[in-house]
Each structure stands twice: as structure tokens, then as C-alpha cells.
Amino acid sequence: MTRMTSLLPLNTFGIEARAAHFTEVTSVDELRRALRRAVPPVLVLGGGSNVLFTQDWPGTVIRNAIRGIEVVRRFKNRVWVRVGSGESWHGFVQWAVGQNLGGAENLSLIPGSVGAAPVQNIGAYGVELKDVFVGLEAVELATGKTRRFSRPACRFGYRDSVFKQTEKGRYCITSVTLSLSTGRHRVHTGYGDIAKTLAEMGVAQPTIADVSTAVIRIRSSKLPDPARIGNCGSFFKNPEVERAVYEKIRLTHPAAPHYDLPDGRVKIPAGWLIEQCGWKGKRVGNTGCHDKQALVLVNHGGATGAEVVALAHAIIGSVENTFGVRLEPEVNIL
Ligand code: EPU
């Protein structure tokens, strides 16, 4: 265990923060040993793509580097694949596409680790992690005991799971098992710009590799590359509001984009609300709102977590004043 370690290279926002104690683990046994020696509070860090540090971490940061991809069961048209939680999510998706295993291709290029994927039920282009999820194994930080979580036990919702609610901060996910199709794949091309991008690529009968390529093209054109400009993807969740709230917005903005939810409420893209309030592309000190997708806050270099939080509060206040809708951060602010 090393002391006072910089977390700068370990968070995609590129924020300088230090861990009082730091260690990396590559297996479940190493994780258990690290937990026995750890100084509380313990933070398990995966890809660092959904955290915003606003202060140094006073206890132990455990960097999860538990790797491995293994087919654990074979069925007629599917396989179950168990993936070590420290694998990169996109690396895993590329492996699956390369093996002609379908289901995760719409989730191409999402930053972060496999272990973080269930925590917020990552989703993009009409597919969510829960659609391919079978179960996971996690180690309880307080006891070192392994616990299995089935899909219902994870209580997945939109960018939500039990690991953001009642079980928050209590477990380190060590492996995730996913169900992937081995043939006759069902490709999902109905969402957003996928069909248009496939047409531009000249593809009529898309394979899962084509869908992955289309998603990568769309994401790279809109979302900043964290290797070049610090960010955590969507900073806010898309708000789900009562229909009356949306109807009121529609009176002044008839073209407001929205998705009808099964329960009668309406989801409004936060990026649109933020853009309407004039934040898109705006720079405030070292931080700013991305010029191609207003939902993404960026670090133009040397930003502190407090600066990003201040910008987020300014945006929340202005969207609330203008539309009466309160945005909630999706990123974990520590
Ligand atoms: N929009 C604007 N201005 C903007 C951004 C978006 O007007 O600056 C409008 C777009 O024109 C479109 C609508 O908002 O009508 C939706 O935009 P987009 O398709 O880009 O998706 P999003 O709702 O902003 C969500 C996810 C993304 C995911 C995309 C595609 C959340 C919080 N974000 O964004 O996920 O990639 O859909 O499925 O649900 C992430 O979670 O980090 C993330 C990037």
C-alpha cells in the first residue's frame, strides 16, 4: 500500500486529488487482503469515468484491476460470459463483437470498467446493460464475503441499481456475467442516428460489427475523448417529469424533444434543456459545457472538482428557473 498517491491519471475528468492510501488488486484474494489492511473510508475505483473528486480521499483507494473473460455456459443460441470487473467495458464489447457474440454492440465506446456497468445500468442507443445481464459477484467491503446478485436483486432502473441506492458503497463488484447471442443476432438500429449512420456507411443488412462501428462514429462525433479533454460523459440524468410539466414547456417550445414513458410521465433530454438556457459551448474558468453535447461538462485543463460542481449548480439553477425542472447529476461527486 502506498501513501499520498495522485488520482489524476485514474479519473477521466482529469481532476487532481490524492489518496491517503492506495493499492491495486488483480484478483479476489488480493482484494480481500487489501480490505483487511485498508484504512477507512474505502473507495473502490474502476475506470474512474463516473467520478468527480472534490477533495483528497482520506482513506484507502483500491484500484480494481481484476481481469479475465471466460465463456461459462453454452446454450443453443447464446452463451454466458463471465467478465472480470476490472476489464475495460469497451475492450469487452470489442472482444464480443470480434467473437461474433451479440447484444452489447450498442454499448460500444462507453468509457469505464465492466464492474461499473451494472452500478448505473449503463445504456445507449436503445440498449441497457440489464438487457444482457445475468448476474454478478461482489465482495462485501466490511466482511470480505462474496455475495451473488441476480438480475432482480440488482433492481435496475434508468441509470440506476441497488448499488446506487441501499447498497451504495458497500460492495466491490468482482465479476459480471452476461448473456450474448451466438447467431441470428437481433440488431437494434431504431434509436437516434444509428439507421442514418448505417445508411451513410452504405450498409443495408447490418451485422453486429456494423452497429458497433456506427455507434463508435456517432459517439466520437458528439462526445469529447477523455484522453484529450477531461469529462465523465453525461453529467446529468435525463429528467423524468409529470406530463403537465412537459405540456407547459411545449407551449413555448413546440419542438421540445421528449420520450413518452410507460407510466405516463415524460423524459426530456437534459442536453436540450441546458442548450436552451444558453450553456452549450460556454466556458467558465477552466471548466465548461461541451460544444457538441450540452449534457457533458468538461475540464479544459487544471479544473478543480469544486469548479465543476459550481458550474453544475449554476446550470441546475438556470434550468430550474427557466423550465421548472430540477436536473440531477449522474456522476458520483466525492
Ligand atoms: N440535444 C440538444 N442539445 C444538446 C444535446 C442533445 O438539443 O446539446 C437533444 C438532441 O437533439 C436530441 C436529444 O437531445 O433530440 C437527445 O440527445 P442524444 O441522442 O445525444 O442523447 P442524450 O439523451 O443527450 C443519452 C445518454 C447518453 C447516450 C445517448 C445515446 C443519458 C443521461 N445520456 O444522452 O449516455 O450516449 O443517450 O443513447 O441518458 C452517458 O450516460 O454518459 C451517455 C453519454
pLDDT tens, residue by residue, 194-203: 999 999 999 9
Question: What integer pLDDT is reported at residue 307 of this predicted model?
Answer: 97
Within 10 angstroms of residue 322's Cβ, the number of other Cβ atoms is: 14
137 and 243 in contact (C-beta within 8 Å)?
no
Question: What integer pLDDT is reported at residue 119 of this predicted model?
Answer: 95
**Which neighbouring-strand residues pair with 25?**
64
Alpha carbon distance 271, 291 (integer Å): 11
* Average pLDDT estimate for 193-222: 95
Q: Is 197 helix (H, G, I), strand (E, B) or coil?
A: helix
Closest ligand 1 atom to Cα of 122: 41
* Average pLDDT estimate for 72-86: 97
257 and 232 in contact (C-beta within 8 Å)?
no
Ligand 1 environment, Cβ below 6 A: 124-125, 192, 222-223, 233-234, 237-238, 257, 269, 271-272, 275, 280, 293-295, 330
User: Mean pLDDT over all residues of the chain?
Assistant: 95
pLDDT bin (cut points 50, 70, 90) of residue 1 is low
Name the grid cell of 2.
502506498
Is 150 annotated as catalytic? Answer: no
Q: What is the DSSP letter of 238?
A: P
Q: What is the DSSP letter of 39?
A: P
Cis peptide before 152 (omega within 30 of 0): no
Compute the half-sphere exposure of residue 276: CA atoms within 13 Å on the CB side of its CA.
22
Residue with cell 467478465: 83
Whole-number Å distance, alpha carbon 175 to ligand 1 midpoint, is: 29
Compute the half-sphere exposure of residue 58: CA atoms within 13 Å on the CB side of its CA.
3
Alpha carbon distance 194, 266 (integer Å): 23
What domains, with CATH codes, occur in the chain? 2-64 (3.30.43.10), 69-181 (3.30.465.10), 230-333 (3.90.78.10)
Whole-number Å distance, alpha carbon 126 to ligand 1 midpoint, is: 12
Question: What integer pLDDT is reported at residue 191 of this predicted model?
Answer: 85
Residue 136: which H helix or E strand, with range?
Answer: strand 133-140
Question: What integer pLDDT is reported at residue 280 of this predicted model?
Answer: 97
In this predicted structure, the answer to whether residue 3 has a pLDDT above a threshold of 80 is no
Name the grid cell of 8.
489524476
Q: Is 236 helix (H, G, I), strand (E, B) or coil?
A: strand
Whole-number Å distance, alpha carbon 240 to ligand 1 midpoint, is: 14
Provide the whole-model pTM: 0.91
Closest ligand 1 atom to Cα of 236: 32
> What is the amino acid identity at position 32?
R
Pocket test for ligand 1, best of 120, 160, 234, 237 (most atoms within 8 A of CB): 234
Closest ligand 1 atom to Cα of 219: 36
Name the grid cell of 277.
438556457
* Average pLDDT estimate for 246-275: 95
Closest ligand 1 atom to Cα of 125: 38
Question: What integer pLDDT is reported at residue 184 of this predicted model?
Answer: 87
Question: What integer pLDDT is reported at residue 183 of this predicted model?
Answer: 83
Question: Which of 78, 159, 217, 219 is the catalytic position?
Answer: 159
Question: Tens digit of pLDDT for each residue in 158-177?
Answer: 899 999 999 998 999 999 99
From residue 141, give the alpha-carbon distance in Å to each of 5, 35, 61: 21, 7, 12
> What is the amino acid identity at position 102?
G
* Average pLDDT estimate for 127-151: 97
Strands 171-181 and 133-140: antiparallel
Alpha carbon distance 17, 59 (integer Å): 13
Is 318 annotated as catalytic? Answer: no
Q: In b/e form, how buried is each residue of 113-150, taking b as 16+ CB within 10 angstroms?
A: bbbbbbbbbbbbbebbbbbbbbbbbbbebeebeeeebe
Strands 18-25 and 133-140: unpaired
